[in-house]
Structures are given as C-alpha cells and as structure tokens.
Amino acid sequence: MKGYLGIDVGSVSTKLALLDEEVRVMAQHYLLTHGQPIQAVQKGLKEIASSIPKDIEIRGVGTTGSARRLSGLLVGADVIKNEITAHAVAAIHFHPDVRTIIEIGGQDSKIIIVRDGVVIDFGMNTVCAAGTGSFLDQQALRLNVPIHVFGEHALRSESPVRIAGRCTVFAESDMIHKQQTGCHLNDIIAGLCEALVRNYINNVAKGKEIQSPILFQGGVAANQGMKKAFEQELGTEIYVPKFYSVMGAIGAALLAKEKMDGAGPSQFKGFEIVNLNCRTRTLICKKCENICDLVEFVVDEKPVSYWGDRCGKWETFQKS
C-alpha cells in the first residue's frame, strides 16, 4: 500500500493527513502546537503511524503552514508550499465548482478567490487577530463557556447584541460592557460571531468579489454560530467540508502526490524521526556587516540547516 502525507503546522495547531493512491483520506490528526512545532509534528506522526498498516510505503510528503520549512526539514518533505496554495488545492479537489474559500485558523484568516479551478486573488488579515480562532478562545474563557459549545449558544440567541469588532481591544471591552448591562449570554456570543464576520468582510475580504459556492475551512468552521453569521451577512449558503480542520494538510498531500507520481523515491525520513532529538536555536552571525539573526536546526546535537540570513552565506548549508 502506498500513501501520501501532508503536514500543516500553524502557530496554534498542527494538522496531518495521509491519503492513499486513490486520494482517499486514510488517516488524519489535529493537535495543538503549543509553541513547539517540532514536538507537535513528532507527536502527530506517532499518532498517524499507530493508525495505519505497518507496511505502508510513503511515496510523497508535503508541508505547509507558518512552520512549513522547519517541518519540511524534519520529515524530509518533497514539496513545501504556502497555505493559500494548499487550502485551494484541497478545496478544488473536493468541490471543483468552488468560487470562494473562507479559511479562519488560530492566528490568521484568509480569503481565496477561485474561478474555473484557478486561484485568481487572495487576502489575509494583517496585524489584528480580532477575526481569528484565538480571539474566540480567549472570549470563551472569559465567558466561562467551553469553546466546543460556543456555536450552540450563538444559535440559541433570539436577539444578538451589536459588538464592536474592528479590533480585539474594542471587541473585548464592548463585550464586557454588554455583560455589565445584563445582556443574555447567548445574545453576547451571537454578537461576537457577527462582529468577527463583519471584521472579516471589511478587512480580509475588502475589495474581493465573493461568489457562491463558498467553502468555510479551518478550525473556526466548527463553530456553527460563525457559519450562521456568515450566511446572514452574505445572504447565501456556506458549505463546511467534511475535513474542514485538516484541509491544508490534505492540500499538501495532494501536491506531494502530483509531484511524486512517476518520480523517484520520496525524501521522507521515515516515522522513526519521532524518536530523534530535534531542536532549533538562534545565533547571530557577525562575519559581515549584515549581523544576521540565524535559526539553526539541530538534530541529535548536530547542525543540519540554517535560515534567516540576508547575505546568502548560510543558504547552501544543509546536511541530510
């Protein structure tokens, strides 16, 4: 049996997906990164390995996400791609007629505009995290509501309150004010969902032509309150794909399959890497006037690769 592995490492969560030769999802895993991408990837690989046949041959590996280069070095990736490409490839694979992709993760949010199966435009949030999953997590904690039932409260709202959602500070202070004036919890949560949607539409999607069919991907897509708020704001149905939380990883696996079909063996280092002692450390290079801040990738106390230099001196240093 042959498989293709995709890994999506973000600042908040790490996602893995394994596809078979018929590009069916054989296994998937979602876990929190906790600021330790190397350990998260190793833990995720261990979980994936425990749920698949022992004799499976990994023919291709793709990585994406904010830590795509680091995770690519760790696992021996054949393809390293950005999140826009990975999410679009997965969405188009499952829904070839998709025209708009809404993706909201823990620390960032994106919109991808697709026409005839080709990405023609995209947008991302800038410095504000008011429209992301981490903001919802923070407010759920403040309201003492488990995040997995946040959306259920929003759906039970009869009269959502209007909350300022242009930035995290204003949204949080406005929410506290609504609490103090006695507004119902369900109405506050529904108001938060609507505020986040307005923030997304006015910032991330500003100037974009949003057309149906629309897919909603990323961890926040699990929140039914957000789905309803998007449908009300846009006046159309929003579709949440089956594998909404791991679409980036699936896209990376699809890209790996596309590249490696008919090619030589994969660079994948094997599931044994879960036992390696891997870490990164920062260095300052003073060998030229750039004074570069370097990131050194160390495996079993041996330097494997460096990045972050501006002069190019360290770009060619890489050991297998």
pLDDT digits (tens, 9 = 90+) for 135-161: 788 888 888 888 888 889 999 988 888
Residues 166, 234 within the same domain = yes
Query: What does the pLDDT look like over 113-122, one tens digit per residue?
Result: 999 999 999 9
**Same domain flag for 235 and 184:** yes
| % of the chain exceeding 90 in pLDDT | 45
pLDDT at 14: 94
130 is a domain residue? yes
Indicate whether 92 belongs to any domain: no
| Token output for 62 | 């793709």
In this prediction, residues 182-205 reach a mean pLDDT of 88
CATH number of the CATH domain containing 134: 3.30.420.40
Task: Tell whether 304 and 204 lie within a shared domain.
Answer: no
Q: Is residue 182 part of a domain?
A: yes
Q: Is 93 a domain residue?
A: no
Which residue shows structure tokens 């590249």?
A: 259
Q: Within 10 A of 76 (CB to CB), how many other CB atoms are there?
A: 16
Query: Is 235 part of any domain?
Result: yes
Q: Based on the fold, state whether residues 196 and 217 are members of the same structural domain.
A: yes
Which pLDDT does position 320 carry in this prediction?
44
Q: Judge if 107 and 231 occupy the same domain.
A: yes
Angle at 82 between CA 79 and CA 85, to 5 degrees: 90
What DSSP string runs through 54-76? TT-EEEEEEEESTTHHHHHHHHT
Would residue 169 count as lying in a domain? yes
Domain extent at residue 302: 277-320
Residues 233 and 104 in one domain: yes
Same-domain pairing of 227 and 255? no
264 pLDDT above the threshold of 90? no
* Structural domain ending residue among the three candidates 193, 224, 240: 240
CA–CA separation, 310 vs 307, rounded Å?
9
What is the reported pTM? Answer: 0.87
Residues 160 and 227 in one domain: yes
Report how many domains make up the chain.
3
pLDDT digits (tens, 9 = 90+) for 20-62: 999 999 999 999 988 888 999 999 999 999 988 888 999 999 9
Predicted confidence at residue 236, as pLDDT, reads 96
Would 293 be classed as within a structural domain? yes
> Are residues 234 and 252 both part of a single domain?
no
Quick one: 121 and 197 in the same domain?
A: yes
Q: Is 77 found in the same domain as 44?
A: yes
C-alpha–C-alpha distance, residues 1 and 235, integer Å: 45
Phi first, then psi: give them for residue 245, nearest 5 degrees: -80, -15
Whether 104 maps to a domain, the answer reads: yes
Same domain, 36 and 140: no
